[in-house]
Amino acid sequence: MEYKYLNNIAGPDDVKKIPEDKLPELAAEIREALFNRLTKRGGHFGPNFGMVEMTIALHYVFDSPKDQMVFDVAHQTYPHKMLTGRARAYTDDEHFGEVGGFTNPEESDHDMFYIGHTSTSVSLATGLAKGRDLTGRGGNVIAIIGDGSLSGGEALEGLDYAGEMDTNLIIVVNDNEQSIAENHGGLYKNLAALRKSKGEFEINLFRSMGLDYMYVEEGNDISALIKAFREVKDTDHPIVVHVHTVKGKGYKPAEENRENWHWHAPFDRETGENLNNWGGESYNSIFADHISERIEKDKSIALVTAAVPGAVGLGQEKREKLEENYVDVGIAEEQATAMCSGIAKNGGKPIFATNATFAQRVYDQVTQDVSLNKSAVTIQLSSSSVFGMGDATHIGISAIGLFSNIPGLKYLSPTNREEYLAMLDYSIDQNEGPVVLAVPCDGVNPAEYPVMTDFSGPVKYQVCEKGKEVAVLALGDFFNLGKNTAEFIESKSGKKVTLINPRFASGLDEELLDSLCEDHSVIVTLEDGILDGGFGQKVASYLGSKGVKVLNYGFEKKFYDGVPPQTAMKECRLDPELIWEDVIRA
Amino acid sequence: MEYKYLNNIAGPDDVKKIPEDKLPELAAEIREALFNRLTKRGGHFGPNFGMVEMTIALHYVFDSPKDQMVFDVAHQTYPHKMLTGRARAYTDDEHFGEVGGFTNPEESDHDMFYIGHTSTSVSLATGLAKGRDLTGRGGNVIAIIGDGSLSGGEALEGLDYAGEMDTNLIIVVNDNEQSIAENHGGLYKNLAALRKSKGEFEINLFRSMGLDYMYVEEGNDISALIKAFREVKDTDHPIVVHVHTVKGKGYKPAEENRENWHWHAPFDRETGENLNNWGGESYNSIFADHISERIEKDKSIALVTAAVPGAVGLGQEKREKLEENYVDVGIAEEQATAMCSGIAKNGGKPIFATNATFAQRVYDQVTQDVSLNKSAVTIQLSSSSVFGMGDATHIGISAIGLFSNIPGLKYLSPTNREEYLAMLDYSIDQNEGPVVLAVPCDGVNPAEYPVMTDFSGPVKYQVCEKGKEVAVLALGDFFNLGKNTAEFIESKSGKKVTLINPRFASGLDEELLDSLCEDHSVIVTLEDGILDGGFGQKVASYLGSKGVKVLNYGFEKKFYDGVPPQTAMKECRLDPELIWEDVIRA
């Protein structure tokens, strides 16, 4: 492929030099570049293919970075990156590594924020507008938000506040009729009515929040978009431009199966088939199968997701089979959490399953709506781990510090397949209070030690191997690391090391810790999370006055950005040999 | 006052026995009982006076607890408590202690949840409805939410999700045209248009979210309300009943000054004057005066609040003087936080000032929108302390554990007036990243040691007194306790004790800690917060391998419910004498 236009674009000024009637050729080149990267590397597919024309029109009309664009989630910004000096990261395989998957000010001045979570763009844009007005810098502020993100509380708060502002602010709603999976929420009926009436329907969510409104039906027609954006440029008040686009536009498999092609692994362009086989058992499939079986027998169970059913292995077919017992609230984690509390209150058995990074939204809801009310809600966290960590916007290693310190909540950290299922079943069936369950991420391992099934009552750690001198408390995901560490130390010292599975990140087995002090001089703790606020520090605090040495291992308090697990672990001395060195020193 | 009706009401069944035309007499009695308690005890005034008629009508029509009512915030439930067997807690001074200020299932079966934060009722009610349907228990579910609470993300998520439900759910919007202070957000223009048109205005927030809708103008007319509630009782789909009420109805000063009478201290009924004089300097007045002065000179400062300007001493007059430099976003903490990030990005100097308990809503926004983006936002927390702790719904002692572990964020804990102002000024003027500033709560104390003004660079603790053997690290609010403890230990041991003001809750002064190990054998840490996840545990972890004993003092991980500070402190051995005992033991 020759990138006739794209190769000559160093920034938005170069886009503006292209005659308007040639812009569709640029669009075709962008799609080719997207194919080049996505077939080989994978990434967000549908959002980017749908945004090609809109991105060209935005940069044709507005003057970034003087005019400031905030892309919600920022997973749809591959075309934006191509038009702001980063095209070769898509056209040239050797430069794939030069861009991340989201906007990031460290990559380009055209990226306003480092963003990866949904529903933040409007609020951030109101701030840019306010800052602009206070400092007199001038320029347009444009938020670009997908329909799926509109159901998030932060987005709705942002729209509402924008509706009382009296200054330039443009909110482009990219309506492709789809969230990650299908949309959920009453407002989507309104968007449908607005699309059907070409924006004329009298009931209008945006107008009801005090915002001006314009509708553009041809969201993949560059000229229509240019016309619309020219109309709103330099507006003196907030206005919503509701644009109807086609998710995955330009690739038939993606247009036809929007959920599967929201994000996609490397694939064959001709057939749409995955290049790699992702077979084998995963915790996703284990959960999906187990919960489906349980729901078949117990209709009081309610599985709740917030727009990421894929994160727990629930494809469309599996979801439909769950009928009334499956609820997707859309991108609305606060709603999911509080709803679960209500379900529990009336005798249902709710499970809120989501990614650890998105659960960060609901500390207050878990505390107030759930835990203070002793509601027996299971909150299952995926990816609360160094394994599978992506950009700094999607890291789950804060989960222990965030949730384990909430009063009245049990944080369970299973170490293997059987223990995971035992904890899940315990949590579903108990009626005492909330449980956070951290799904293991270090592969599916079978149990090597007996598995407890009742996690009520006081915190009980499991002594897997009983030794002397040195004890290793290896939480959840890091149990295998702990086992390896104990074996390494044994091989070096010739003495049997005590190996413990703590099971609970939220509390101490004080009796056991006291007894360890009798014949141990060093206690090692390992956890798959940031050390500060986590599990090991509680152990160190409890043992602070006892005279035994405590060595805590976990991650640094920093934003790990695309760091491979092994690198992060080595940095933090999470390695049997390095731990052995520290033990000797202590 | 003779409570002819009220004294004979043991529960909602007794309300239903009263002829409809006699209900206004019951309303008058309820207002008398409210006066009886509120003049002497203080409490939420306006919300309860406005809800008298609606509460009677709700219990006249619905059958609680079979029909389940969820009151948002639950600060307007004094009449509800009177009609559900708890009247004497209002009519009889000796029984004042029998009720808390919010709904609480431990008080009554008619209270669905223990609630105190805003904007949760609709989501909780969707859960009750779902649980009801899964278990077949039947009954109506009714959420009662004030107009002020509608701007919160959780409420908007709840309304949106309710709009796709297909079952009984009644959402009563109690529209008294007022939040705590005035309302902020575009949706309030829509509510005004709906009120003006008696619900006929074609643009309708609730309908735009897929909800059915009904308007009731006479929100303080019991018969009109009974009629409306009878119409919607047993509805087979979600419906909003938008009711127009008068906040503070029945007491002229409260109707005329709704902000001052939202909550009110004990007062003289004739004059409306406070019974106690609340004079003297407070951190509220110090902040309000200081920030007003600073804004006068620097128009790039933006003070942002989320509906609680009173929490930082900003009455209406003071707010108006700040003009463009003051922003109230309404009850919308997520919006406030993200907006501040945008303001900082464009060169403004944002301060988000709120109560610690409400800041719990924005862990993700502080992490992602602010800290990951290195936005120089000042987040000022009031009441992050055991002092002034109220019901379990309003405790701020989780703040250190919640915020101090966020990467890239400085958590500053001033110990006195001058240090507070120095930290505030530093934070406003710096451009490095976010700062959480915990306003002291143990009274306004002057500085006794030199005050640092530059808090950039590495964490530096202040050695206030240099001794040997024992060192006391006394954070923020507990500096005076630390000083008293050091003095007590000195008086007992005859040896000088090292006294340290750590200043930072978010990091360690490793150099100093290392040097302490040289001539100290016991390190004591004190913090005004829950121990788990907090400051002291970081110290214990760091010193775990050094051979020095560490004693951490702070609060237990539990929901303190109306516990007096001195009691909570004694329980946790936060007392010089008890600490001395522990030091000796160690």
- A·B CB contacts under 8 A: 430
Report residue A278's pLDDT band, with 50, 70 and 90 as the boundaries: low
Which positions 513-532 of A are in contact with B (Cβ < 8 Å)? 530-532
Query: Which residue carries 């008298």 as its tokens?
Result: B52
User: pLDDT digit string (tens) for B237-264?
Assistant: 999 999 999 999 999 999 999 999 999 9
Beta bridge partners of A264: A43
- CA-nearest residue to B113 within chain A is A373
Lowest mean pLDDT among A60-64, A298-302, A427-431, B180-184: B180-184
Res A519 pLDDT > 80: yes
The SS3 call for residue A16 is helix
- A548 within 8 A of A522, measured Cβ to Cβ: yes
Q: Do B186 and A163 touch (CB under 8 A)?
A: yes
Q: Which residues of B touch A408 (CB under 8 A)?
A: 558-559
Q: Which residues of B touch A105 (CB under 8 A)?
A: 373
At residue B213, the pLDDT reads 98
DSSP strand pairing (A263-264 vs A43-44):
antiparallel
Which positions 205-224 of A are in contact with B (Cβ < 8 Å)? 205, 207-211
Provide the 8-state DSSP code for B420: H
- CA-nearest residue to B391 within chain A is A372
At residue A390, the pLDDT reads 83
End-to-end CA distance of chain B: give it in Å, rounded: 62
Q: Do B124 and A210 touch (CB under 8 A)?
A: no
d(CA A525, CA B397): 27
Interior CA angle at A293 toward A290 and A296, to 5°? 150
Nearest to A205 among B208, B343, B547 (CB): B208
- A167 within 8 A of A239, measured Cβ to Cβ: no
Q: How much is the average pLDDT of B483-505?
A: 98
User: pLDDT digit string (tens) for B343-366?
Assistant: 999 999 999 999 999 999 999 999
Q: Do B157 and A159 touch (CB under 8 A)?
A: no
Q: How much is the average pLDDT of B452-473?
A: 97
Asked if the C-beta of B367 comes within 8 angstroms of chain A's C-beta atoms, the answer is yes
Q: Do B186 and A343 touch (CB under 8 A)?
A: no
Report residue A327's pLDDT band, with 50, 70 and 90 as the boundaries: very high
- Residue B492's Cβ-count burial label (10 Å; 0-12, 13-18, 19+) is middle
d(CA B495, CA A286): 62
Asked if the C-beta of B494 comes within 8 angstroms of chain A's C-beta atoms, the answer is no
Q: Which of A339, A506, A531, A552 to mutate to test the interface with B (most CBs of B within 10 A)?
A: A339
User: pLDDT digit string (tens) for A127-170?
Assistant: 999 999 999 999 999 999 999 999 999 999 999 999 999 999 99
Report residue A312's pLDDT band, with 50, 70 and 90 as the boundaries: confident
Q: How far is B326 from chain A (nearest CA, A)?
A: 11
d(CA A334, CA A340): 10
Q: How far is A53 from chain B (nearest CA, A)?
A: 27
User: pLDDT digit string (tens) for A78-124?
Assistant: 999 999 999 999 999 999 999 999 999 999 999 999 999 999 999 99
Q: Which residues of B touch A402 (CB under 8 A)?
A: 363, 402, 405
End-to-end CA distance of chain A: give it in Å, rounded: 62
Beta bridge partners of B240: B171, B213
- Residue A32's Cβ-count burial label (10 Å; 0-12, 13-18, 19+) is middle
- Residue A65's Cβ-count burial label (10 Å; 0-12, 13-18, 19+) is middle
Nearest to B550 among A130, A544, A557 (CB): A544
Torsion of CA A267, A273, A276, A281, to 10 degrees: 130
Q: How far is A349 from chain B (nearest CA, A)?
A: 8
Q: Mind giving me the DSSP string for A278-299?
A: --S--HHHHHHHHHHHHHHH-T
Q: Do B405 and A533 touch (CB under 8 A)?
A: yes
Nearest to B130 among A302, A368, A552 (CB): A302
Of A311, A300, A340, give the one whose Cα is nearest residue A434. A340
- Residue B460's Cβ-count burial label (10 Å; 0-12, 13-18, 19+) is middle
